[in-house]
Amino acid sequence: KRHLISAGDLTKDDALLILDTAEELASVSERSIKKLPTLRGRTVVNLFFEDSTRTRISFEAAAKRLSADVINFSAKGSSVSKGESLKDTALTLEAMGADAVVIRHGASGAPHRLANWVHGSVVNAGDGTHEHPTQALLDAFSMRRRLGALEGRKITIVGDVLHSRVARSNVLLLGTLGADVTLVAPPTLLPVSVGTWPCEVSYDLDAVLPKSDVVMMLRVQKERMNAAYFPSEREYSRRYGLDRDRFAKMPDDAIVMHPGPMNRGMEIAAEVADSARSTIVEQVANGVTIRMAVLYLLLGGETT
């Protein structure tokens, strides 16, 4: 494949190839080999129209560890503020020789449109409320490293599903990998299309926790909470937050995940986020490895 736009575009073999490639790259890094020559002479453009800490920095680190040249573009401070379109911005960057464009954009579908305009590979780093496929890949990689194969594993994803591109990409990818996914959310924070998603839905977090191998908490996206009805923070936290008492209901070997950034004390208690069974910091480190694997397979290795 030339692009990575949706987790739904990946077959099980594609997904396993990315996870296995990441495993090989992790073992190279563990042997203290920090930099590989694989993408020398290739250029990766990070095109970010929305804020990011983890995704932007990890794509930059991943490209640099593969010896690619990296151009970081942030819409803030660019000619986007003078009204330049996505297409003209993309064509300008392509004229500078981009082999891959990593794009984060507030509009769902922006990476798909971009793929029609540029010759290089397009990687979706989060588009609106639609998808965030490399987050789902790093989440699956983190789960597999802790728990082994994902077939039949019970994964519970909790919170603001309505606005979560992370939830959608995870449901698609984890389903492809054979895991059983349950979404838990207030009815007002579920998309109307959720009935067509390959997962179960529950409104009772306390009933689902004891049966979960993984509990993934989602950030409440206050900045996107325009039309959706949202209970008070206190009420949300009481019904859907992962506090110490709820954490105790999980099986002893179950893990807690969060894509970040977190609202500590709201969807997740600080002591749960910082516990030994939380993979939140590992997820960030694994994000670099997964993004190395994606760039390697799109630009430098065998095609998926």
Q: How far is CA 97 from the centre of its chain?
A: 27
Binding residues for L-aspartate: 82, 165, 219
CB nearer to ligand CP: give 103 or 208: 103
Minimum Å gap between C-beta 279 and ligand CP is: 13
Minimum Å gap between C-beta 54 and ligand CP is: 4
DSSP characters over 257-298: E--S---BTTTB-HHHHTSTTB-HHHHHHHHHHHHHHHHIII
Cis preceding linkage at 198, omega within 30: no
- Cβ pair 184, 127 in contact under 8 A: no
Minimum Å gap between C-beta 295 and ligand CP is: 16
Binding residues for carbamoyl phosphate: 54-55, 104, 132, 135, 260-261
Dihedral (CA of 220, 224, 229, 234) sign: positive
CB nearer to ligand CP: give 54 or 239: 54
CB nearer to ligand CP: give 55 or 124: 55
CB nearer to ligand CP: give 166 or 297: 166
Per CB under 6 A, residues contacting ligand CP are: 52-55, 126, 135, 259-261
Terminal Cα distance for the chain, rounded: 5
Residue nearest to ligand CP (CB): 55
Residue 284 is encoded by which pair of tokens?
A: 């960030």
